[in-house]
Structure 1
């Protein structure tokens, strides 16, 4: 059964780090797909001067294949259902960002808790820098430094897709 969950939080809160830790634990036994949102459209996916970069600069959709991977460069915005259909073979889908996406969501916070995320999250992953008493009682508290605890929450709460 395929499971999808999202992580959200301010910049430098630890979202990428915890997703990376979770993926490393899951990958030996499961197929894991990760979707990363780039809200400022600043990500660079290839090196200027390389063939794939030149092809992408034409405005075309570009697929690069090799013996060990396939990379897809697109100029079109894709909805999550399109991405799920494209990736297809996964047990866990971990989404970073896209806070408006209707998925069970873990807010990741370090140093300060931002209440503006409350409408979007069902749990928080925090470390000792956050005062637990500032977290509303209806939000489950997870240890940001315990990826196994977070995986257990995912297994219990993730959306089946």
Structure 2
């Protein structure tokens, strides 16, 4: 079983925190993989002067391996299928962002609801700061603070990949 589900929402809505909670709960029973989109290209991965930074600065594809992990640095954008093939060994893939990918998707909102996300999502995870009447009938409403409920949705709705 290799299934994927995605999470989307405005900055600081709680996407990373929610994905982290879900991953921590599921990791004992499933092999979990996570893909995070960095649309502003502002994430920092290495420190100036270190070997991996120097290698990556050449423009090459770089793999750093150690007894406890393998890290892949790429200058090329990868499709979802290419990333899935690279990761390969997982049961559940949690994707943050990349709203154009055809995956079952939970929108995360606090306070205001951005209606532009509605065409991409099947469910919303919201807290008490959101007016539920602003959510269309065809979108399932989940409690952002009920991780078990969200995990159940993920397990029941994730798409086989």
TM-score range, shorter chain: over 0.9
The equivalent of 1:74 in structure 2 is 74
CA distance in 2, matches of 1:27, 1:155: 13
The equivalent of 1:135 in structure 2 is 135
Q: TM-score, normalised by structure 1?
A: 0.99
CA distance in 2, matches of 1:118, 1:143: 17
Structure 1, unaligned runs of 5 or more? none
Shift of 1:136: 0.7
SS at match of 2:56: helix
Deviations 1:68-105 (A, max 9, x none): 00000000000000000010010110000000000000
The equivalent of 2:93 in structure 1 is 93
Structure 2, unaligned runs of 5 or more? none
1:117-128 counterparts in 2 under 5 A?
117-128=117-128
The equivalent of 1:52 in structure 2 is 52
Shift of 1:160: 0.7
Q: TM-score, normalised by structure 2?
A: 0.99
1:1-161 counterparts in 2 under 5 A?
1-161=1-161
Alignment RMSD: 0.6
Runs ≥4 in structure 1, deviation > 3 angstroms? none
